[in-house]
Amino acid sequence: MQSPLPVRDGVNATRLRLPEEGPWETAMDYMMHRWGHIDPQGIADRFDAGEIVGEGGIPLDRTTPLRHHTFIWYYRTLPPETRMPVELNILHHDEHLLVVDKPHFLPTTPGGTYIQESALVRLRNQLQLPDLIPMHRLDRMTAGILLLSTNPETRGKYQVLFEKRQVQKEYECVSAAEPASGHPAVDFPLVVRNRMTKSRSYLLAEVIEGEPNTETRIERIRTFAAAHDVGDSNGGTDEVGAGRDASPRRALYRLEPHSGKTHQLRVHMASLGLGIVNDAFYPDLLDKAPDDYSKPLQLLARGIRFVDPVSGKPVEYRSRLTLSEARTN
């Protein structure tokens, strides 16, 4: 449903569905029930100023009956955010598409404590493109190629490509060269298939019994000494994330997903005993800690390719980023 309020400061207005019935006489009564314990005067002031609107952009006041509108829209009061020390790099920009290199730690879309500090809001404000919409998402901790639509009139053509899985994606990650103890040896390349599910109320994705709904082809590109093993006179070894098995060698892997479930690549690598370096979720959930910008998750969306639905020509976009742990020795 199209919002009657324009994007403001790069952020969409919030939409709220009003209940069809209840003990509330007015729309304001319901909002007070939901959020009056936080800022009752602020809610009343917004109604008085006509800053809360219904269908067609009609301003509501304190007396607007609950039954007069199904949806209402308003702008949230956003808390101040500290700018992250990471930057977006624009790789391609035309009348239909924007392609960027998203850095680690920056979420794709606003949510939770990250609003202004999201790729979408930063780009909307930087480029003055209020209609900008991402065509897919990268996890906050994943870096690399992100494709966004700049033109509402052609957006649907690109969305169909993703819905029909006509977009080929390539990722890279750094992990141990050999599986952790307790896991069998692996011959590459190989394909991992299983059934995954993820609840909104739980941080982790889970592998369950049933028909596979995920598939990833995994190839080992090269192996190399772990950073802390090189010239370490104390004889120490580098660990693949806290709580993981130490490994004297690491490897760079190419990952080609043929489905797009949340955390799919991280789960598939961990299932092989090859948890991705600096992964705080898999195979073990670590205690939440402040972001350590010196230790990004070693997962990168390296490339994306498809037949452009507007030009009819094959296109490919490649990330210019590198994984900090992907040594070349």
**Per-residue pLDDT tens over the stretch 295-316:** 999 999 999 999 999 999 999 9
Specify the pairing of strand 249-257 against strand 97-102. unpaired
**Per-residue pLDDT tens over the stretch 132-148:** 999 999 999 999 999 99
Residue 45: its H or E element? helix 40-48
Confirm if 113 and 76 have CB atoms less than 8 A apart: no
Q: What is the largest CA-CA distance in the chain?
A: 76
Is the confidence at residue 320, as pLDDT, over 60? yes
As a three-state string, the secondary structure of 65-130 is EHHHCCEEEECCCCCCCCCCCCCCEEEEECCCEEEEEECCCCCCCCECCECCCCHHHHHHHHHCCC
Highest mean pLDDT among 62-66, 198-202, 205-209, 229-233: 62-66
* Residue 184 CB-half CA count within 13 A: 3
Q: Quick one: pLDDT at residue 79?
A: 85
Is the confidence at residue 241, as pLDDT, over 80? no
**Per-residue pLDDT tens over the stretch 185-209:** 999 999 999 999 987 777 899 888 9
